[in-house]
Amino acid sequence: MRLTFNSNTDPKIDSSDWTNWTWQLKNSLSTLQDFEKCLTLTEDERRFFDKKSPFQVRVTPYYMQLATTPAIRKILLPSQMEYQAFTQEMPDPLAETKNNPVSRIVHRYPDRALFLITDMCSVYCRFCTRKYFTGQEQSFIKSNEYEAALSYIKSKPQIREVILSGGDPLTISDQLLLKTLKDLRAIEHVEIIRIGSRMPVVCPMRITRELALGLREYAPVFFMTHFNHPKELTAEAGAALGLLVDHGIPVFNQSVLLNGVNNHPAIMQALSRRLLYLRVKPYYMFQCDPSMGSDHLRTSVEESLAIQRELWGRLSGLAMPNLSLDIPGGGGKVALVPEFETSHFGNKRTYCGFDGISGEYVNPCPTLHALPDDIADYAEEFELIKKKSL
């Protein structure tokens, strides 16, 4: 391995370039020749480039530096295994195209919608769930699709939350991103805006003070990032996360359990604790979706539950991510929780905790059940949000 691709070790790279996010994107590695300039590839990795893959390879120079860690290497470098189907592989595992009322909108849940504003990413993760869409090299949504998407959101008052995704929304300029936020904020019933981005992981220099100030202007904006391994939490990444939080932007992390990358409780514990220390809430720990070419990276549900059980009680609730699985075919997210109930008889239930201590919980008498007096004040809005009516 011969990684010298940074401003500290390579005199050809100016530090002002290295810390510029547009330079990072323009100089991303995408060909066999690019990778061989800074890395000794295995025969398996080299053979991938001999075939025409339906899914691109792209890595920022910054993230390429982390390839000295074998786990990170599996995330960013392609493998011959991607051409082998084992148990289950689907082009669109979450059936997003079935919940696609207009171009660039995915409306699966009644009260929230996904707005795909770009199909570009700065790094194409080998386990990507949206391979049917990403990598078409359309940096920003076409104007007619943009207007149609906004019109759809305006027409659905039950949509209270919009998630900007793609691709990676932070591959577009501040100007375009903030215009999108402004247009969404002009829709009265949109209360919450989320931005899903891996840029703090793969290109942390993208998070600037100017961007953080711009996001704060359209609060509440929630930032969803995607760290999968403690080695991704570099000093640069920590500084980027700090900028967001210091400007009042809550940050949540969504990780994916990956075979040979992070499928061990010690790794997930270290990742979660470090994230929490950086004021980032570990939010989801996902079962890897069965997207094309990702079968070799998926863990079994049993293994994932075993990892969750090991963390339970040994990791602060603040640091505990929700283990979840997206039902293939568009069924939505379901929580995977270790079974702690040991018996259930009548109104009595017995539970055994993570450290073996058991206890009995007795349900209250059904005759004590009473509805809140002010339920009518909230029922109408609740019923509205329940209706998706595509």
Positions annotated as catalytic residues are 108-109, 112, 121, 125, 128, 130, 289, 326, 333
- What angle do helix axes 209-217 and 174-185 make, rounded to 10 degrees? 10
Residue of 293, 260, 259, 301 whose CA lies nearest to 89: 293
Edge-to-edge strand ranges of the sheet holding 341-345: 341-345, 348-352, 358-362
What tokens were used for 114? Answer: 């996904």
d(CA 165, CA 115): 6
**Secondary element (H or E) of residue 251:** strand 251-257
Residue of 297, 12, 248, 315 whose CA lies nearest to 127: 297
CA dist 265 → 69, 252, 305 (Å): 18, 20, 10
- Measure the N-to-C terminal CA separation of the chain; round to a whole number of Å: 52
